[in-house]
Amino acid sequence: MILKIVFDTNEYAKKIIKSDTYFHTFLNKENLAAGILRLGPGGNDTQEPHENDEVYYVVKGDGFLEINGKDYAVSEGMSYYVAKKIPHKFHGNKKELVVMYFFGGPDT
Q: Which residue spans within 1-108 are E strands per DSSP? A: 23-28, 33-39, 54-60, 62-67, 70-75, 79-82, 88-91, 97-103
Q: How confident is the model at residue 1 (pLDDT cuts 50, 70, 90)?
A: low
Domains of the chain (ranges; CATH) run: 9-103 (2.60.120.10)
Pair 85, 54: CB distance under 8 Å: no
Q: How does pLDDT run across 2-51, given as a tens digit for each residue?
A: 678 899 999 999 999 989 999 999 999 999 999 999 999 999 999 999 99
Q: How confident is the model at residue 93 (pLDDT cuts 50, 70, 90)?
A: very high
Q: What is the pTM of this model?
A: 0.92
Compute the C-alpha angle 59/46/9, nearest 5°.
Answer: 30
